A and B are shown apart, each in its own frame.
Chain A
Amino acid sequence: MSVTIKISRSHAKRAAYTEDYTVEYEKGMTVLMVLEHIRESMDATLSFRWNCRAGRCGSCAMEINGIPALACKAEIPADAKEISVAPMKIFPAVRDLVVDLTPMREGLRKIGGFQSAQKPFFKMHDYDIEIAGEMRRCIECGICQDVCHVLREHKKNYAGPRFAVKAAANEMHPEDRESRAAEMEKLGLGYCNVTKCCQSVCPEKIRITDDAIIPMKEKIAGLQRKEFFKKILGGGKK
C-alpha cells in the first residue's frame, strides 16, 4: 500500500510548484515522519521545520489537506491515497513548507510581559487560574492565525486570535490589576465575527472564541458604554 504526498514547494527564485512523492504506508505514520523520510532518502533539499515531534513546541504547523495542523500529530489514515501538504498562507513564505514566524513574536511586543505589582508568593486556587491557565497552554504554532478569515481575507486592523489569547492570559491572571479593555480594543477584537474557526483547529483545544474573545469583547463593550455616558453626562467637564 502506498500513499502520495503532494508537497507545495517554493524557493526564493521560483514560484510555488507541487511535487509528488510516493511512499509506502506504515501503520501509525505521521506527516512529519514522511517528510523526514523524503528528506533522508528521496530529496535532500526538502525544507520544513520541526523540533519536538510531540505536539509541544508548535514548530511544524502546515496546511494538511487544506487545513492547518501540526505535522507531528497528523497521522496518515490507512485508506489515504493522497495527502496534500502546503505552508501556512498567512505568514511570509521562506522555503517549501517553512514560513516566517517572526510576526508571532512581533505581535507579542504590543501586549508585553506580565509583571505583578504585588510580591509573591501568591495565594490563589486552582479555580482562580483555570481560564488564565487555559490561555497559557498556547504553543504559539500560528494555526489559529492561519485559519482566521478576517486575517486571510480582510487584513483589517485585527491582531488575530493568538494575540487575543495572550491578552486574555494577562487579563485573567488573578494578580492582574490593570484595566486592559482599551489595550484589547486596539488589538481590533471588534473585527472578529465569532465564527469559531480558530478554536476548532487549535491543537491545544483552547476555547479561543468562547473563553478569550467573547469575554474580552464584553469588556470592550463595557468600556465603550462607560465612555459614552461619561461623554454625554460630562460630569461637569467637556
Chain B
Amino acid sequence: MIMEILKTEILVVGAGGAGLRAAIEASDHGAQVAVLSKSVLGKAHTVMAEGGIAAALGNADPKDNWKVHFRDTMVEGQMIADWDMVSALVQEVPERIKELEAWGALFDRDENGKIAQRAFGAHTYKRTCYVGDRIGLEILHTLEDQVIARNIEVRDEAIATKIIGSNDKNNNKNKNRIAGVICVDLKRGEVFAIQAKAIILATGGAGRLYKITSNSWETAGYGYALAFDAGAQLQDMEMIQFHPTGMVYPQSAAGLLVTEAVRGEGGILLNSKGERFMEKYDKKRMELSARDIVARAVYNEIKEGRGTAHGGAWLDITHKGANYIIKKLPSMYDQFNTFAHVDIKKEKMEVAPTAHYTMGGVKTNINCETSVAGLFVAGEAATGVHGANRLGGNSLADILVFGRRAGINAAKYSSKTEYAEMDKDEISEELKRMDAPFKSNGVHPSEIKKAAQKIMWEHAGIMKTEHGLRQALEGIEKLKTMKAHADGSLQYNLTWVEAIQAAGMLLVCEAIVRSALERKESRGAHYRSDFPKQDDKSWMVNIICRNMKGKMKLEKKPVPQMPEELKRLLP
C-alpha cells in the first residue's frame, strides 16, 4: 500500500474559531501543530456568526459580571448544562476578547471609546460585543492572521474520514487511544494518513442534517460520527436549536440567518394580522425572550394560519431609520437586498425558524478531554456549556474559551506521550470503504442526504412526537441500507465526498432521533408535543449515546451537582 503518511504531534481537525484558537494555543505551548480544514482556510462556518459575542465586560451595564452571565446561561440552558464548563466559559471570555483586541480585531465602540455591547435574548444585561452584524468574520480572520504569523501548517480542503486507533490493542495503555486519521485532500485528489499524538476535533455542528438551516455546506455533523466511531460518547444530541428568524424566500436563501441583533436593536415580530404576538408567549421579555420560546412562537403563529404569504412572520426594524440600520445591520441590509429584493430600511422582513445550532455533541470535561485518550474536542462539536438552549453570543465565547483550553491540554498531553502505530486493519478497511462508491450501483448520494434532511425537518424538528420520531427512525434505518454511487476521479469530487460521508451523517441523525425519543418531556429546544411539560423530577439528566461495538446504546446520567457557592448565584 502506497500512501503518504504525515506526522504531527497535534492534529487539529477543523479550522473554524475553535480549531484555530486551539492551534494557536498549542503552538504557543511549544507543540508541533497541523490544521486540517474542510473548507479553504478563513472560510469556515464561523464567518456566518452575525450578532456578537457575549462577555460580561460591564461596559454597557456596570452591574454586569460573570456571576450574572453564569446565572443566565445555566437558567436558559434549563439547568442541564455542566456548571463546571459554564463557570469557565463566563469567567474566561473577557480575557479572550482582550486577546482578540491585541491581535487587531476591531469591535464597534460606545460613546466612551470602549467596546460597545448590545442586548441579546435572555441575557439580563447588554453584554454582546459586536462588529456591525459580522462578528464571525472579524474573529475568524483575526485568528487566521495569528495562525499564519506562527507558521502553523494548514492543510485546507482536506477532510478527515476516520480516526484510526492504535495497532497495539493488547497493551492496555494503547487500547483506547487515538493514533491518527485518514484524510482526503480534495484539491490533489489524494488519500493520505496523518499520525498524531493528540487530535483536537473542532468540526462544528450538524445544522445541515436539516432541510432548512442557517449552516454552511461543511456543517453536516461529520465530526460527531468520527468521534463516536472512535469510541467517544455523544451527549444531549436531542438538543437542536432552531433560530427563530431565518429567511423564508427565495429558495436560494431559505434558512439563511437573520441575526438576533435585529431584535436586539429593537426589531419587532408581527403576524399577518399585524399583532405583536410575542405578548402572548412572553409578555415580559417579548422579542428578546429565549430562542426556543421565540422559535416556537413564530412556528405556532404560522401553523395556526397567521403566517405571511411565504409562510413566515414579519420582522420589522423600519422604525429605527435608514442610517441606524445601515450602520448596525449592514449585512442584513445587503442580504435582503441581494436575495429577496427587499429594502429593510423601508420594508418588513419575512422570517421563520431555521436549524441553527447543535447544543449536544461529544462529551468532554472542562479540559476538553474525552473518554478516548488523545482525543480532545472543542466548540460546537463538544457539548456541555449550552444545556437545553444556547444563549445568543455564547457559542463564540465557547469556541474561544474551549478552543484555547483544548490547545493547552492537548499540548500538555502530547509532551508526555509517544506516537502510537496506526492500526493497519482499520486503515485498509477505511480505504475499502472509500473505494466502495465507485464500485456499487447505488443511488446519487444527494438522494440519501435530501431524504434524511426531510425526515429530520419533519419529525425531529421544532415539535416532536413519539409517533413522528419512530417514523424518523424507521426512515433513517431504511436509508442506511441504500448504497451511494460516485464516478470520476478523487479530485474535488463533491459527489464522492457526499457518498463516503453518508453513513456518518445517518449515524448522527440516529443519535438525535434516539435521544429525542428517550427524553419524554419538553425542555428548552427539545419540545415533545406528547409531553409538553418540563419534568424536573425525572429528567434532570443528560442523555448519553455510547458506542457498544458499533451499536448505539443510550443511557441517562443525572446532571452534575453544583457546589454551594455557585448554587447561590441562581435565582
Contact B338 A39 (CB under 8 A): no
Mark contacts of A90-128 with chain B using CB atoms, 8 A cut-off: 1 yes-contact digit, 0 otherwise: 000011101011101100110011111001111111101
With A54-B253, A59-B43, A113-B146 already in contact, 8 other A-B pairs whose C-beta atoms are closer than 8 Å: A28-B249, A29-B252, A41-B444, A57-B44, A59-B39, A114-B103, A126-B108, A132-B106
Pick from B60-68, B109-117, B424-432, B501-509 the stretch touching chain A. Answer: B109-117
In this complex, which of A44, A115, A122 has the most chain B Cβ atoms within 10 angstroms of its Cβ? Answer: A44
Q: B489 interface residue, CB < 8 Å from A?
A: yes
- A residues within 8 A CB of B217? 50-53
Contact B141 A136 (CB under 8 A): yes
Contact B338 A73 (CB under 8 A): yes
Q: B149 interface residue, CB < 8 Å from A?
A: yes
- A residues within 8 A CB of B115? 121
Q: B362 interface residue, CB < 8 Å from A?
A: no
Q: Which range holds the interface residue count of chain B?
A: 35 or more
A-B contact pairs, 30 of them (CB 8 A): A28-B339, A28-B340, A29-B252, A40-B444, A41-B444, A45-B495, A51-B43, A51-B216, A52-B216, A53-B216, A53-B252, A55-B335, A56-B134, A57-B43, A57-B44, A57-B47, A59-B40, A96-B492, A105-B42, A108-B148, A112-B145, A113-B148, A114-B145, A115-B103, A116-B103, A120-B98, A123-B113, A129-B109, A136-B137, A136-B141
- B residues within 8 A CB of A73? 338-339
Contact A121:B98 (CB < 8 A) given known A29-B251, A95-B491:
yes
| Chain B nearest CB, measured from A41 CB (Å) | 8
Contact B252 A113 (CB under 8 A): no
Contact A28:B103 (CB < 8 A) given known A94-B187, A123-B113:
no
Contact A105:B154 (CB < 8 A) given known A32-B252, A58-B43, A114-B104:
yes
A57 to B416, CA, bound (A): 38
Residue in A32, A49, A121, A138 whose beta carbon sits within 8 Å of that of B40 in the complex: A49
- B residues within 8 A CB of A41? 444
- A residues within 8 A CB of B492? 47, 49, 94-96, 98
Q: B146 — nearest CB in chain A belongs to which residue?
A: A113
Name the interface residues of B134-159: CB closer than 8 Å to any CB of A. Answer: 134, 136-138, 141, 144-146, 148-149, 154, 156-157
A122 to B48, CA, bound (A): 26
For the complex of A and B, list the 6 residue pairs with the smallest distance between their C-beta atoms, beginning with the closest.
A28-B250, A114-B104, A113-B149, A113-B145, A120-B101, A123-B113
Q: B421 interface residue, CB < 8 Å from A?
A: no
- B residues within 8 A CB of A12? 189, 489, 491
A54 to B42, CA, bound (A): 15
- A residues within 8 A CB of B144? 108
Q: A146 interface residue, CB < 8 Å from B?
A: no
In this complex, which of B106, B340, B487, B488 has the most chain A Cβ atoms within 10 angstroms of its Cβ? Answer: B106
Q: A4 interface residue, CB < 8 Å from B?
A: no
- A residues within 8 A CB of B489? 11-12
A54 to B256, CA, bound (A): 7
Residue in A112, A138, A175 whose beta carbon sits within 8 Å of that of B149 in the complex: A112
Q: B335 — nearest CB in chain A belongs to which residue?
A: A54
Q: B491 — nearest CB in chain A belongs to which residue?
A: A95
Q: B452 interface residue, CB < 8 Å from A?
A: no
- B residues within 8 A CB of A137? 134, 137
Q: A13 — nearest CB in chain B belongs to which residue?
A: B489
Contact A57 B148 (CB under 8 A): no
Name the interface residues of B216-230: CB closer than 8 Å to any CB of A. Answer: 216-218
Contact A33:B251 (CB < 8 A) given known A54-B48, A55-B334:
yes
Contact A28 B251 (CB under 8 A): yes
Contact A51:B39 (CB < 8 A) given known A45-B487, A45-B488:
yes
- B residues within 8 A CB of A11? 489, 491
Mark contacts of B306-334 with chain A using CB atoms, 8 A cut-off: 1 yes-contact digit, 0 otherwise: 00000000000000000000000001001
Contact B106 A136 (CB under 8 A): yes
| Chain A nearest CB, measured from B211 CB (Å) | 14
| Chain B nearest CB, measured from A19 CB (Å) | 14
Mark contacts of B226-266 with chain A using CB atoms, 8 A cut-off: 1 yes-contact digit, 0 otherwise: 00000000000000000000000111110011000000000
- A residues within 8 A CB of B21? none
In this complex, which of B103, B156, B187 has the most chain A Cβ atoms within 10 angstroms of its Cβ? Answer: B187
| Chain B nearest CB, measured from A30 CB (Å) | 4
Q: B39 — nearest CB in chain A belongs to which residue?
A: A51
A53 to B136, CA, bound (A): 15
| Chain B nearest CB, measured from A56 CB (Å) | 5
- A residues within 8 A CB of B106? 129, 132-133, 136, 173
- A residues within 8 A CB of B562? none
Contact A119:B149 (CB < 8 A) given known A53-B217, A54-B253:
no
Residue in B39, B40, B102, B136 whose beta carbon sits within 8 Å of that of A116 in the complex: B102
Residue in A48, A57, A101, A173 whose beta carbon sits within 8 Å of that of B104 in the complex: A173
Q: A107 — nearest CB in chain B belongs to which residue?
A: B148
Name the interface residues of B158-195: CB closer than 8 Å to any CB of A. Answer: 187, 189
Q: A170 interface residue, CB < 8 Å from B?
A: yes
Q: A72 interface residue, CB < 8 Å from B?
A: yes
- B residues within 8 A CB of A100? 187
Contact B42 A140 (CB under 8 A): yes
Contact B444 A44 (CB under 8 A): yes
Q: A197 interface residue, CB < 8 Å from B?
A: no
- A residues within 8 A CB of B446? 39-40
Contact B249 A52 (CB under 8 A): no
| Chain A nearest CB, measured from B113 CB (Å) | 4
- A residues within 8 A CB of B334? 55
Q: B493 interface residue, CB < 8 Å from A?
A: yes
Mark contacts of B95-131 with chain A using CB atoms, 8 A cut-off: 1 yes-contact digit, 0 otherwise: 0001101111010110011110000000000000001
Name the interface residues of B68-111: CB closer than 8 Å to any CB of A. Answer: 98-99, 101-104, 106, 108-109
Mark contacts of B488-530 with chain A using CB atoms, 8 A cut-off: 1 yes-contact digit, 0 otherwise: 1101111100000000000000000000000000000000000
- A residues within 8 A CB of B45? 51-52
A229 to B180, CA, bound (A): 60
Contact A45:B145 (CB < 8 A) given known A53-B216, A123-B113:
no
Q: B23 interface residue, CB < 8 Å from A?
A: no
| Chain B nearest CB, measured from A24 CB (Å) | 13
A175 to B257, CA, bound (A): 33
Q: B485 — nearest CB in chain A belongs to which residue?
A: A44
A73 to B339, CA, bound (A): 7
- A residues within 8 A CB of B252? 28-30, 32-33, 53, 72, 75
- A residues within 8 A CB of B148? 105, 108-109, 112-113
A123 to B107, CA, bound (A): 11
A175 to B103, CA, bound (A): 10
Q: A27 interface residue, CB < 8 Å from B?
A: yes
Name the interface residues of B25-48: CB closer than 8 Å to any CB of A. Answer: 39-45, 47-48
- B residues within 8 A CB of A55? 334-335, 338
- B residues within 8 A CB of A125? 109, 113
A39 to B495, CA, bound (A): 8
Q: A214 interface residue, CB < 8 Å from B?
A: no
Q: A210 interface residue, CB < 8 Å from B?
A: no
A175 to B504, CA, bound (A): 47
Q: B143 — nearest CB in chain A belongs to which residue?
A: A113
- B residues within 8 A CB of A122? 101, 113
